[in-house]
Amino acid sequence: MKTIISTLLYLFLTVTSFGQLTKGNWLTGGNAKLYLFRENNSTSTYDYNYTQIDLSANVGYFVADKIALGLRPTFSSFKGGYYATGGSISTNSQRYLIGPYGRYYFLPTEKDFNILTDISYQYGILGGGLKGNASTFSAAAGPVIFFNSSVGMEFLLGYSSSKEDADYGYSFERKGFQFLIGFQIHLEK
């Protein structure tokens, strides 16, 4: 096991690789986000506990060197509920979102790593028993490490703001930090 880890570490540190960040190339991939949160309501005895998992795909095109624009669909699973002294109610719903995104890579294109920023806006519908719509704005930045000239793994930290409006007067707004892990495939023209 140590031999495998040592070999991978050696290759990672010595092999020259970089992504295709130049005008005319395509970008495809995706990321995952886990969001756990708890709410306490000071005017009642309810405690809210939720888990949200987002899976996003994306396809984009480099309109200029180091600048990509594209489209990103997202599937979001939202589970949890509220708990009180008299009982509890659980929820399990989904969100289906799609919208544009843009990203910029800061370092020269010949590097085997880079720093990027990613901004997106998505709009969609609620599922799993709820009827309504949802929108999300996201801004994140972080490093991408290229394994070769086509594949990179990214670790992004940023801000997310979501708003949902559903039937029965249900409205929910959530703002906070996010951590995303993803893979991107850079395709030559």
pLDDT digits (tens, 9 = 90+) for 14-73: 444 455 789 999 999 999 988 777 665 555 556 677 888 999 999 999 999 999 999 999
pTM score of the predicted model: 0.79
pLDDT score at 117:
98
Question: In the chain, where are the structural domains located?
Answer: 2-187
pLDDT score at 12:
45
Q: Please check the confidence at residue 6 and state whether its pLDDT lies above 60.
A: no
- Cβ(102)–Cβ(121) under 8 Å? no
Q: How many CA atoms lie within 13 A of 187 on its CB side?
A: 8
Strands 113-127 and 171-187: unpaired
* Mean pLDDT rounded to a whole number for the chain: 83
Residue 143: what residue type? P
CATH architecture of residue range(s) 2-187: Beta Barrel (2.40)
For the segment 117-131, the average pLDDT, to the nearest whole number, is 90
